Amino acid sequence: MLYWLGVAAFALAILISVSLHELGHMLTAKGFGMKVSRYFVGFGPTIFSVQRGETEYGLKAIPLGGFCKIVGMTPQDDDVAPEDQPRAMWRFPVWKRTVVMSAGSITHFMLAAVAAYFAAISLGLPNTDYPRTDTDTLAQKPVITIAECTWINLPATQQECVPGQNGAIAGPAYAAGLRDGDLITRVGDTPITTYGQLTEAIRALPAGPVPVEYQRAGATATANVDLVAAQRAPISDSEGAATTVSVAGVGWDQRSVPTMIEYGAGDAFGATADYGWFLFKNTFEAMKRIPDKIPALWNSITGSERDPETPISVVGASRLGGEAVENGVPELFLNIFISLNVFIGIFNLLPLLPLDGGHIAIAWYERVRSWLYARFRKPDPGRVDYYKLMPVTYAVILIGGAFTLLTVTADIINPITIFK
């Protein structure tokens, strides 16, 4: 029950954010004097509508977004009444049209910022400095986690590690008295300040006993660890060929760095900005990887395991929101909402028709072209003919529709799950 309530709540939150996106267009258009004839939430058959002044407001049957109709968005619009011609959007200065067309994305960014701020002071924000790569992990403080059992020869298949069976032995560090959370400061004669240095120092020593200095609860002590020779992959390349090195049965303790951080009311402003920049950078990186992920999406539909790094649709995001509510993790619900709003905001600014960014790009192209023609004392070439761009627009719609269908299908047949 909680799961479906979470799914419904997340879907409603996205519907509201998309409706506010269109509201941003409408308010800025009206503020500049443009005529907005219609503002609707949803698509398809009209459930109800009401006329207020020159604008019709209403609700439609399919709750998958919304729209507002700004009169005369392009010079080719043929439904502009003669009395509305002076207020047609295309006649307004380019900076005003830019504000109107970017207002939707700005609304998404504002929603994300407000949600992130309240998350920062209540539930906490993800730690943007948390290590996400092998290189990041190796640079962390050498706080360790202990393996009670370790492999001499890495098994070909995943199986339980039991000392004395299948080439497994008791963990040397555990046997020497080291425990989870200990901070290693020296191995033999080598001072240690990072986890990478710890791993390198151990692997560089011959098998046998070595004194390991550590700190626990503020006290310094030394344990004699009997290193053993074992097969291990290179430190920063888990896919590399295994070689025989000395091991102690230790790893980096992930709990030593918080994954979430809660802030005070003042500090939350800076944390929100930092988290927003983090999301912007990672959203662009994720968008660049989308073409490479399409085969994995298709394979997940045809029976392969779903790659958690593949894109998701609003359906998939809503399912994750349901999981977050079901498992009592409201911060995850909020962070998915924040991330999705940032993605939608950036995506809508891409310079492609029919996206908002496409209209902005054309407006500035016209402005720059007119300026250049004036510099060379040539007559203004006028406005771009949108009809000539229709093949490209249809191609974008077709590709976007196919990609949406692919992600929605994958999210229904083989969804990404966080809690298993």
> How far is the C-alpha of 100 from the C-alpha of 22, rounded, in Å?
10
Q: Which two tokens stand for residue 305?
A: 């395991």
Q: Is 103 exposed, middle or buried (0-12, 13-18, 19+ CB in 10 A)?
A: buried
> Is the alpha carbon torsion for 132, 342, 334, 405 positive or negative?
negative
CB 202 within 8 A of CB 251: no
DSSP per-residue string spanning 294-326: HHHHHHHHTTSPPPTTS---HHHHHHHHHHHHH
As a whole number of angstroms, the distance between CA 373 and CA 381 comes to 8
Here the tokens at position 226 are 């009997």
Question: Which residues fall within 8 angstroms of residue 216, CB to CB, at 6 or more apart?
Answer: 179, 181, 182, 183
Which residue is catalytic, options 22, 56, 262, 305?
22
* Pairing status of strand 219-232 against strand 243-247: antiparallel
Q: What span, in angstroms and rounded, lies between the C-alpha atoms of 111 and 338?
A: 8
Q: Taking CA 261 as the corner, what is the angle to CA 257 and CA 266, rounded to the nearest 5 degrees?
A: 140
CA 251 to chain centre: 28
Residue type, 182: D
Which residues, including other chains, have CB under 8 Å from residue 137's CB and lie 6 or more apart?
131, 195, 252
93: CB partners within 8 A, 6+ apart: none
Q: Using alpha carbons, select from 313, 283, 411, 321 the residue that is nearest to residue 12.
A: 321
CB contact at 8 A, 105 and 349: yes
Instruction: Decide: residue 297, CB within 10 A, 0-12 exposed, 13-18 middle, 19+ buried.
Output: buried
| Alpha-carbon span 154 to 147, nearest angstrom | 14
- φ and ψ at residue 231, rounded to 5 degrees: -85, 130
- Is 239 one of the catalytic residues? no
What phi, psi does 188 have (nearest 5°)?
A: 60, -120
DSSP run (H or E) holding 351: none
Q: Which two tokens stand for residue 361?
A: 């790009």
Show which residues are catalytic.
22
